Amino acid sequence: MSHPDFIKSYAGFLFDMDGTILNSIAAAERVWGRWALRQGLDLEAFLPTMHGKRGIDTISGLNLPGIDPVTEAEEILRGEIEDVEGVIAIDGAADFLASLPPNRWAIVTSAPIDLARARLATAGIPQPTIMVTAEDVSVGKPDPQGYLLGAERIGASASEMLVFEDVQAGVAAGEAAGADVMVITATHQHVLATQHPTLLDYRQIAVKTTADGRLTIVAR
C-alpha cells in the first residue's frame, strides 16, 4: 500500500471490474488468444493491449484487413461468456463491496452487461445496484464517459468520486473524469508507474460512513 489519502471523504466509489475487483486474466486471454492466433497476431505483443478496453475498440484499433469489428467482437463475447473458468474475486473485494451503501458505489466496466454478470456470478460478487457497461457508452476507456455516467447515476459529480482501477486506460479515464484514483495491483505482473496511491487488494482497508453519508477509507 502506498500513501493512500485516508483523510478525504467521497460521495461514492466507482470500480472497474476486471483486474480491480475480480481476476479474469486467464479466461480472457484464453478466448482472445485463440482469436489472435487465427488473425496471425503475435500473442506476446497483443494480449497485454486488450485489457481494460471494450472488445470492439481493441479490434478496431488493429485495423485488420477484411475484418468486421462488430462481428468479431460479438464472436469473442460469446466465447468469453461461455468460458469463465478460473474467474475469482480479488482478495477482500466481496466483503469490502458488501460493506458499502448500495447506492453509493457502482461498477464501471468495459465488458458488455451479459459478460459482466457472468464473471461477477462466477467470482461470487453480488450484482451491484448501479453498473455502467460497454452498452452504456459510445466511447470506451481511456475516455471518461463511463466514469462520468457512473457518477451521474450515483447522483454526484465525478470530482466527488474515488475510482478504483488497475490498468493505464482506466486510470486515464478516471483522471479525465476529474476523480481521485486508487490503483489495485493484485493482478500486476509488472509495476505500473503511477502517481496515484496503490493497494495490493482489499484486505488492508475498510470503509467508514460519515454522518452526512460520505465514504472514507480507513486502514484495517
Report the 10 Å Cβ neighbour count for 124. Answer: 12
Whether residue 4 has pLDDT greater than 70: no
Task: State the average pLDDT for the chain.
Answer: 92
**pTM of structure:** 0.86
Coil, strand, or helix at residue 42?
A: coil
The residue annotated as part of the active site, out of 5, 18, 83, 114, is 18
So what's the pLDDT on residue 145? 97
- 16 catalytic residue (yes or no): yes
Q: Tens digit of pLDDT for each residue in 99-115? A: 999 999 999 998 999 99
What is the C-alpha separation between 50 and 32, in angstroms, rounded?
8
Convert 52-65 to b/e letters by CB count within 10 Å (16 or more is b): bbbbbbbbeebeee
Give the C-alpha distances (Å, rounded to integers) separating 213 from 9, 104, 131, 216.
10, 9, 20, 10
Are 184 and 196 in contact by the 8 Å Cβ rule? The answer is no
Report the 10 Å Cβ neighbour count for 160. Answer: 17
What is the C-alpha separation between 38 and 158, in angstroms, rounded?
41
So what's the pLDDT on residue 3? 45
State percent of the chain over pLDDT 70: 97
Whether residue 1 has pLDDT greater than 70: no
The residue annotated as part of the active site, out of 16, 166, 180, 201, is 16
- 91 catalytic residue (yes or no): no
Measuring CA to CA, which residue among 217, 199, 200 is closest to residue 208? 217
Q: Tens digit of pLDDT for each residue in 121-158? A: 999 999 999 999 999 999 999 999 999 999 999 999 99
Phi-psi region of 147 (alpha: psi -120 to 50; beta: other; left: phi over 0): alpha
Residue indicated by cell numbers 475487483: 21
So what's the pLDDT on residue 6? 62
Q: Tens digit of pLDDT for each residue in 25-73? A: 888 889 889 999 999 999 889 988 877 678 888 999 999 999 999 999 8
